[in-house]
Copies of this chain bind each other. A is one copy, B any other.
Amino acid sequence: MTKKVAVLAVNPVNGAGLFQYLEAFYENGIQYKTFAVAETAQIKTNSGIGLQTDDAVASLKGREDEYDALVFACGDAIPKFGENAGKQYNQDMLAVIKTFNDKGKIMVGHCAAALMFDSAGVGKGRKTALHPFIKNVVKGCIGTDEKTVIDGNIYTAQTENSISILLPELLKALK
């Protein structure tokens, strides 16, 4: 039986990253639901297009058991994360990331995903692929120069440009 994936999309989100996951899940019959890391389900891409996701991240809290994997879709919201870290939706996001990992689910993401995982205390001692700018910023997990890394339950890609390399192994794990 295929697994069910919760997809977190920050606001704004990199559409090229987000939709590489979503179209691949769609084409492979993997169920998914999208959650905006925002107050509402209505967000934008970096490129300014309005997106209607399924729900806001607050609705995912306490319902983690309904899913087998979590995807973090990065975007231009993240360089400003520091300014907005206290906002409820970002706190909900970190809580959801922690719960998914505590339950041993598959954790996926690109670009600054490893930094968000790290901020939630997830990935300690695990190697990760991540944006070169944050290689030395992560504390618990191990930053690398790899295009993609799979270490235990954690699947990471350096940027949206290497998601296509990560996808075949990820799809195998989700089927």
User: C-beta contact mask, A2-31 vs B, less than 8 Å → 1, else 0?
Assistant: 000000000000111011101111110000
**A: interface residue count bin:** 20 to 34
Choose one: B22, B50, B52; the contact of A15 (CB below 8 Å): B22
Residues of B within 8 A of A27 (CB): 46
- B15 in contact with A19 (CB, 8 Å): yes
- B16 in contact with A45 (CB, 8 Å): no
State the copy count for this chain.
2
User: C-beta contact mask, A47-81 vs B, less than 8 Å → 1, else 0?
Assistant: 11111110000000000000000000000000000
A84 within 8 A of B: no
A44 to B, closest residue via Cβ = B52
- A16 in contact with B25 (CB, 8 Å): no
A50, A53, A161 — most chain B CB neighbours (10 Å): A50
Choose one: B20, B25, B45; the contact of A22 (CB below 8 Å): B45
A88 within 8 A of B: no
Residues of B within 8 A of A14 (CB): 19, 23
Residues of B within 8 A of A49 (CB): 19, 22, 34, 51-53
Residues of B within 8 A of A20 (CB): 16
User: C-beta contact mask, A145-175 vs B, less than 8 Å → 1, else 0?
Assistant: 0000000000000001100100000000000
CB distance from A7 to the nearest CB of B (A): 10
> Can you offer 20 A-B residue contacts whose CB atoms are under 8 A?
A15-B18, A15-B19, A15-B22, A15-B23, A16-B16, A16-B19, A16-B24, A19-B45, A19-B47, A22-B47, A22-B49, A23-B160, A25-B47, A26-B47, A27-B46, A32-B47, A49-B53, A50-B52, A51-B52, A52-B52
Q: Which 3 A-B pairs have the closest CB atoms?
A: A15-B19, A50-B52, A22-B47
